[in-house]
Chains A and B, each alone.
Chain A
Amino acid sequence: MSERVKITIDGKEAWVEPETTILEAARTLGIDVPTLCHNPALEPYGACRMCTVEIVGKGWSQLVTSCNYPIRREMEVLTASDRVVRGRRMLVELLLARCPDAPLFQEMAARYGVGRPRFETQQADLCYLCGLCVRVCHERVGAKAISFVGRGVEREVATPFFKISEACIACGACEFICPTGAIKVSDITDKPIRPLPLEFDMGLRGRGNIYIPFPQAVPNVPVIDRAHCLYFQAGTCRTCEEFCPPHAIDYSQEDEFLDVDVGAVVVATGFDPFDARDKPEFGYGRYRTVISGLEFERLASASGPTQGKIKIDGKVPQDIVFVHCVGSRDKQQGGEYCSRICCMYTAKQAHLAHDKIPGSNITVFYMDVRAFGKGFEEFYDRVRAEGITYRRGNPSEIYRRGDRLVVRAEDTLLGRTVEVEADLVVLATGVQPRADAAEVASMLSLERGEDGFFQELHPELRPVDTKRRGIFLAGTVQSPKDIPDTVAQAKAAAAGVIVELSKLRRKAE
């Protein structure tokens, strides 16, 4: 490192590494210099000229663009001298004349006191040729799908020969970086633009390539999605690495297999929700307004994709139908067992829907309601008292009529077929053993029951032990259960572990 250089910007002093740009120095000093073509991820371009500042000396001054002027010697800089501001105003006027509809320039005009441009508006454009899209595509993505075409005012951003680009990888970086929304990926490529769904929100919203998997994740740090990361896929980009101030990005990290010696194991691998696509008569996956219980859970959550507002495609449903026992107590699909949680979560969700959408009509189709836990029956009564209709009967079919859904079922109390129209149908999807349960079972040499859940040593007396000493079960790996039951079983398993470990210690002593 060579010696630091002193720079005075608007009267504030700083010592910077040589080759630091004036813009960087100004920003470390907290001085705002407007930019319209600058992005720290890209090489300075110096095209918009908004960041022009004045270097002043004794009896001379020079206008330079701060984004690409490397500081090499001591200097004094004014970022908002009269000359600078006069020029910036003209630039804003010129840009506003070019892009009268761009809010960016309307705001800038207001900021710089620029009124209506004194030029004729020829053709309103949103693109002001800052080149951010072109540069990100060349410098970071490496696809070089778009470039500048033409000269002077005829210049534009385009694909070669204005044809649909073969080179475009539909990453969307151009659209993302564009300050005025002038460029659309769909104009460049006909490749499908794949959104990246946030898994935790059941795909109800997207996420970036770098994301925190869910709120309160442990550890609560972002991860890189290798399958979509440009660096892992194409060796380009590496923008995040430059931007992370503590240099925490490490592309070399790999998944690891660890061998750990332990005295006891608790198997608490949980469950998979039933995939409602396996019951095609309900139209899940076909109709956007047929959703699973878990999806409803995210919709109703304050940290979810809609901030807790129950909306599908921006619309608030008025008529909502809940369907019990989807994938539970079912001889054809899912399990024959009762999933034990659906009755109560449906009651809770019906209550939330009633609460969040005043005046909504809510119908619950049930086989029979199993409100067996402490306070459960009282809650069920309260929900019914709120005016939520419980109809006994299993729907046979859900189909579309216009832009609404019709739930067709036999009301077994009335003994006749009923059809209920709905804007939203929530399927109370049940609990299933995890897809990889067999693998885990064979690894641990454990047995599973007919239903696929892990087999406890004794259904009544040894509900957390297994036939292998030192291996315990906790939670839904053993059978469907709700949170209080899971906690109880987990504590029991923990107690079992303590016993086991203390025996081992005594033996060792």
Chain B
Amino acid sequence: MSADAQTKIRSPEDLAQLRQELQRLRHPERPCLAICAGTGCLAYGVNKVIDAFHAELELRGMADRVEVLATGCPGFCERGPLLTVRPQGIFYQRIQVKDVPEIVEETLIHGRVIDRLLYQDLRTGEPVVHEADVPFYRLQRRDILWMNGLLDPTRIDDYIALGGYSALLKALYTMQPEEIVEAVKKSGLRGRGGAGFPSGRKWAEVRHAHGDLKYVICNADEGDPGAFMDRAVLEGNPHSVLEGMIIGAFAMGSRQGYVYVRNEYPMAVTNIGLAVEAARSHGLLGEDIAGSGFAFDVAIRRGGGAFVCGESSALMQSLEGNVGEPRAKYVHTSEKGLWERPSCLNNVETWANVPLIVNKGWEAFAQVGTEGSKGTKIFSLVGKIQNTGLVEVPMGVKLREIIFDIGGGIPEGRPFKAVQTGGPSGGCIPESMLDLTVDFDELSKAGSMMGSGGMIVMDDRTCMVDLARYFLAFLKEESCGKCVPCREGIARSLEVLTRICDGLGQEGDIALLQELGETLQGFSLCALGKSAANPVLSTIRYFRDEYEAHIRDRRCPAGVCKPLIEYWIDPALCTGCTACARPCPEHAISGDKKMPHTIDLLLCIKCGACYDICKFNAVLIRSGESPSPLPGEGSGEGSVPSLAVEA
């Protein structure tokens, strides 16, 4: 932290002056190595790369001339670790320690581009030199994420230099609280946490609720498998969230805020903690914020990682120190929330949108998006997709654009089957609906939901019954168990789905699942239970034939459900290389060298080891009586899409 950090900002002029000073130090022509140090890239070992750059620059005596910037996650996790060499904006991907000397020598010293580290356009195969030209980035609209790759999230100076906290000062000095609430209302901002409740309405309710003590809360308890939008924002640009919260507190008349962040996000916990400290020492948090007389402070509370604690009333229970259990919200939390006091809970991404609205004005914000959903939305694109990562797009783009244009489509040229949106409680959208525009209302109409923005892409080797079973198994673990429909209903739905996957499905099981689904939707206490049936109901809606195949024909069309499939070796394709026999744990594969092998089905445990290893695609899966070839013949991975890119 620089010495300046101790100077308190007392007026808009102070901030402007500090910004000028900071920008002067950050000359745009100064060479800078911006390296993603987000969680994904850290898992790739980027720390060692950063150390190597420091060592290399030290060795060459360039350390004081070249800045090494450990940034937040810019989103292109598929290609990490990521490096952007500025000021040229040269984009290197999948860099390793061994590349470091070459990058310093070639690019930094001689200004030459290293071709092998460049990203290649998936369609044309052409190398792309500049970050801005990478299709993954080019097609996005990064109103929230744009700063992530430009700043070190542990330094408030970087944020201020990029224009940070100008919205706060604008709000404090030029706007009335009522005016801010009105602006948020008119902007059409809706909660990014899942339900899509109009934020302005919530703010107005809290502002007008009775009571001196009001709370603003940031929900950073992102729990959907495969979702990491909030994580990236909180880790990569914590000040934007904090600034949004302070503006919100000013608008609603709150003096105390909380960030509820899951303990599984250690970097987010650290970075928001640093941000709070830095904001305090700059006079942007605490008593008399920026000399305006307004007082507000933020405390950070770590959650234990229960999925249900992302639900607002359960989160507040947890904040109070109780077991995280939801309660009825017939009386809104904006009236009686945390400690029975008016509380405004928004998620990370929602708060991060606030400075944007204040800075640009609600009119500009409302120009982006659709009729009912304004602004941009960040999605985490995972599963069977070429470009795994974070995607920020304006509301209203088509699913097809996200998956194929930005996401690069399905690997290995396999056909797209479905996309699951909205996390475990979301629904599956089939290929026929790829031209659906993505906003809160359209996704709900299709039987799915926006959720917090998880997007899991599936190809033809995904069994939809198995997928529903997978999500229900997750939800069964995460149900708090308070209300009967959620606790018992999810467990029983899972029981029925499991018997269908095991080939023991009965006539009437589909109807039973639908009945259970109806009860879950109508009778559950909280949104977790109400939406828990979405994976089941949406897959029944769009992939009913797969359910019927399991139940009537005892067949898994995708070749996934183990009790319904068998592995066999096509003698015409088998070369007798014996590669499959070696890894077989049960010694179920026999055959002479260079002669076609066979699998003893009585011994086979269907582990798939032979299938994975066969180079000639001679090991095949068949299901049911039909010997017809199944999708997935060829090399294969399991059915359930790999969910977490960090893994």
A positions within 8 Å CB-CB of B: 36, 44, 46-50, 52, 63-65, 68-70, 83, 86-87, 90-91, 94-95, 97-98, 118-120, 128-129, 131, 147-148, 150-155
Give Cα A70–Cα B328 distance, bound, in whole angstroms. 11
B386 interface hit (Cβ, 8 Å): no
Other than the given A47-B483, A94-B492, A153-B487, 9 more pairs (CB < 8 A) read: A49-B523, A90-B515, A94-B484, A94-B485, A147-B323, A151-B477, A152-B479, A153-B481, A153-B488
B512 interface hit (Cβ, 8 Å): yes
Give Cα A131–Cα B325 distance, bound, in whole angstroms. 13
Q: Considering the complex of A and B, which 5 residue pairs feature the smallest CB-CB distances, nearest first?
A: A155-B481, A94-B488, A152-B479, A90-B519, A152-B481
Tell me if A68 and B328 are in contact (CB < 8 A): yes
Interface string of B510-523 (1 = CB under 8 A from A): 00100110110011
Tell me if A70 and B331 are in contact (CB < 8 A): yes
B542 to chain A, nearest CB (A): 24
Chain A residue numbers with a CB within 8 Å of B487 are 129, 152-153, 155
Tell me if B330 and A64 are in contact (CB < 8 A): yes
In the complex with contacts A87-B518, A151-B306, A153-B488, A46-B525 CB distance below 8 A: yes
Tell me if B484 and A47 are in contact (CB < 8 A): yes
Kindly count the residue-residue contacts between A and B in the assembled complex, taking CB atoms under 8 Å apart.
106
B72 interface hit (Cβ, 8 Å): no
Interface string of B352-366 (1 = CB under 8 A from A): 000000000000000
Chain B residue numbers with a CB within 8 Å of A97 are 488, 492
Which B-chain residue is minimally distant from A62 (CB atoms)?
B522
Chain A residue numbers with a CB within 8 Å of B492 are 94, 97, 119
B123 to chain A, nearest CB (A): 46
Tell me if B519 and A91 are in contact (CB < 8 A): yes
Query: Of residues B488, B512, B518, B525, which shows the largest number of chain A Cβ atoms within 10 Å of its Cβ?
Result: B488
Tell me if B488 and A154 are in contact (CB < 8 A): no
Tell me if A151 and B478 are in contact (CB < 8 A): yes
Tell me if B481 and A129 are in contact (CB < 8 A): yes
Give Cα A63–Cα B530 distance, bound, in whole angstroms. 11
Chain A residue numbers with a CB within 8 Å of B479 are 151-153
Tell me if A152 and B485 are in contact (CB < 8 A): no
For window 363-393 of B, CB contacts with A under 8 Å fall at none
B518 to chain A, nearest CB (A): 7
B133 to chain A, nearest CB (A): 48
B138 interface hit (Cβ, 8 Å): no
Chain A residue numbers with a CB within 8 Å of B516 are 90
Which B-chain residue is minimally distant from A152 (CB atoms)?
B479
Chain B residue numbers with a CB within 8 Å of A155 are 480-482, 487
A34 to chain B, nearest CB (A): 12
Give Cα A85–Cα B201 distance, bound, in whole angstroms. 34
Tell me if B306 and A153 are in contact (CB < 8 A): no
Tell me if A49 and B331 are in contact (CB < 8 A): no
B157 to chain A, nearest CB (A): 43
Find A68's partner among B323, B330, B523 (CB 8 Å cutoff). Answer: B330
B433 to chain A, nearest CB (A): 26
In the complex with contacts A94-B488, A120-B495, A152-B480 CB distance below 8 A: yes
Find A91's partner among B306, B476, B482, B523 (CB 8 Å cutoff). Answer: B523
Chain A residue numbers with a CB within 8 Å of B489 are 90, 94
Interface CB pairs A-B, < 8 A, 26: A46-B328, A46-B483, A47-B482, A49-B483, A52-B522, A64-B330, A65-B328, A69-B328, A69-B330, A86-B515, A87-B518, A90-B489, A94-B485, A94-B488, A94-B519, A97-B488, A97-B492, A98-B488, A119-B495, A129-B487, A150-B481, A151-B478, A152-B491, A153-B476, A153-B487, A155-B482
Tell me if A47 and B476 are in contact (CB < 8 A): no
Give Cα A153–Cα B524 distance, bound, in whole angstroms. 15
In the complex with contacts A91-B523, A153-B476, A49-B484 CB distance below 8 A: yes
Which A-chain residue is minimally distant from B524 (CB atoms)?
A49
Chain B residue numbers with a CB within 8 Å of A52 are 522-523
B327 interface hit (Cβ, 8 Å): yes
Tell me if A87 and B328 are in contact (CB < 8 A): no
B129 interface hit (Cβ, 8 Å): no
In the complex with contacts A46-B327, A69-B328, A95-B488 CB distance below 8 A: yes
Chain B residue numbers with a CB within 8 Å of A150 are 481
In the complex with contacts A87-B518, A128-B484, A129-B481, A153-B330 CB distance below 8 A: no
B175 to chain A, nearest CB (A): 33
Chain A residue numbers with a CB within 8 Å of B496 are 119
A139 to chain B, nearest CB (A): 13
Tell me if A47 and B331 are in contact (CB < 8 A): no
Tell me if A87 and B483 are in contact (CB < 8 A): no
Chain A residue numbers with a CB within 8 Å of B483 are 46-49
B490 interface hit (Cβ, 8 Å): yes
Chain A residue numbers with a CB within 8 Å of B488 are 94-95, 97-98, 153
In the complex with contacts A63-B523, A90-B489, A98-B488, A148-B481 CB distance below 8 A: yes
Which B-chain residue is minimally distant from A36 (CB atoms)?
B484
Chain B residue numbers with a CB within 8 Å of A70 are 330-331
Interface string of B465-485 (1 = CB under 8 A from A): 000000000001111111111
Which B-chain residue is minimally distant from A22 (CB atoms)?
B330
B52 to chain A, nearest CB (A): 44
Find B478's partner among A65, A83, A152 (CB 8 Å cutoff). Answer: A152
Find B323's partner among A47, A87, A148 (CB 8 Å cutoff). Answer: A148
Tell me if B491 and A87 are in contact (CB < 8 A): no
Give Cα A87–Cα B518 distance, bound, in whole angstroms. 8
Chain B residue numbers with a CB within 8 Å of A36 are 484
B502 to chain A, nearest CB (A): 12
B166 to chain A, nearest CB (A): 42
Tell me if B480 and A47 are in contact (CB < 8 A): no
B499 to chain A, nearest CB (A): 9
A109 to chain B, nearest CB (A): 14
For window 544-598 of B, CB contacts with A under 8 Å fall at none
Which B-chain residue is minimally distant from A153 (CB atoms)?
B491
Which B-chain residue is minimally distant from A118 (CB atoms)?
B512
Give Cα A118–Cα B512 distance, bound, in whole angstroms. 8
Give Cα A52–Cα B484 distance, bound, in whole angstroms. 12
Which B-chain residue is minimally distant from A19 (CB atoms)?
B331
B598 to chain A, nearest CB (A): 37
Give Cα A65–Cα B327 distance, bound, in whole angstroms. 11
Tell me if B523 and A152 are in contact (CB < 8 A): no
A164 to chain B, nearest CB (A): 22
B233 to chain A, nearest CB (A): 28
Chain B residue numbers with a CB within 8 Å of A95 are 484, 488
Give Cα A29–Cα B476 distance, bound, in whole angstroms. 39
Give Cα A345–Cα B476 distance, bound, in whole angstroms. 69
Chain B residue numbers with a CB within 8 Å of A63 are 522-523
Query: Of residues A91, A120, A129, A152, which shows the largest number of chain B Cβ atoms within 10 Å of its Cβ?
Result: A152
Tell me if A87 and B490 are in contact (CB < 8 A): no
A214 to chain B, nearest CB (A): 44
Chain A residue numbers with a CB within 8 Å of B306 are 151
A331 to chain B, nearest CB (A): 70
Give Cα A120–Cα B498 distance, bound, in whole angstroms. 12
For window 303-343 of B, CB contacts with A under 8 Å fall at 306, 308, 323, 327-328, 330-331
Give Cα A118–Cα B507 distance, bound, in whole angstroms. 12
Chain A residue numbers with a CB within 8 Å of B515 are 86, 90
Find A152's partner among B323, B490, B508, B512 (CB 8 Å cutoff). Answer: B490
Chain B residue numbers with a CB within 8 Å of A50 are 484
Tell me if A91 and B491 are in contact (CB < 8 A): no
Chain A residue numbers with a CB within 8 Å of B491 are 152-153
Tell me if B518 and A49 are in contact (CB < 8 A): no
Which B-chain residue is minimally distant from A129 (CB atoms)?
B481
Give Cα A46–Cα B512 distance, bound, in whole angstroms. 25
Give Cα A147–Cα B491 distance, bound, in whole angstroms. 22
B142 to chain A, nearest CB (A): 38
Query: Of residues B328, B480, B523, which shows the largest number of chain A Cβ atoms within 10 Å of its Cβ?
Result: B523
